Amino acid sequence: MLQQDSNDDTEDVSLFDAEEETTNRPRKSKIRHPVASFFHLFFRVSAVVVYLLCEFLSSSFIACMVTIILLLSCDFWAVKNVTGRLMVGLRWWNHIDEDGKSHWVFESRKESSQENKTVSEAESRIFWLGLIACPVLWVIFAFSALFSFRIKWLAVVIMGVVLQGANLYGYIRCKVGSRKNLTSMATSYLGKQFLRQNTGDDQTS
Residue 68 has pLDDT above 90, yes or no: yes
pLDDT reported for residue 175 = 86
The phi and psi torsions of 58 (rounded to 5 degrees) equal -155, 150
Q: What is the pTM of this model?
A: 0.69
Please report which helix (H) or strand (E) contains residue 147, including its range.
Answer: helix 121-147
The CA-based angle 140-141-147, given to 5 degrees, is 90
- Round to whole Å and give the CA distance between 103 and 95: 5
The CA-based angle 102-111-3, given to 5 degrees, is 25
For the chain, the distance separating the N- and C-terminal CA atoms, rounded to the nearest angstrom, is: 54
Q: How many helices and strands, by DSSP H and E, does the chain display? A: 6, 3
pLDDT reported for residue 165 = 94
- 143-171 burial: b if 16+ Cβ within 10 Å, else e: eebeeeeeeebeebbbbbbebbbbbbebb
Residue 5 has pLDDT above 50, yes or no: no
| Range among 5-14, 56-65, 111-120 rated most confident | 56-65
Do 154 and 65 touch, CB atoms closer than 8 A? no
Q: Kindly report, residue by residue over 24-42, the tens digit of the pLDDT.
A: 444 456 888 899 999 999 9
- Round to whole Å and give the CA distance between 18 and 3: 30
Read off the pLDDT of each residue in 182-197 and give the average, rounded to a whole number.
Answer: 61
Q: Kindly report, residue by residue over 146-181, the tens digit of the pLDDT.
A: 998 888 899 999 999 999 999 999 999 888 874 455
- Round to whole Å and give the CA distance between 37 and 35: 5
Q: Kindly report, residue by residue over 82-119, the tens digit of the pLDDT.
A: 999 999 989 888 888 888 888 888 888 765 544 445 67
Tally of residues, the chain: 205
Domain boundaries, the chain: 32-191
Task: Give strand pairing partners of 13.
Answer: 107
pLDDT reported for residue 169 = 93
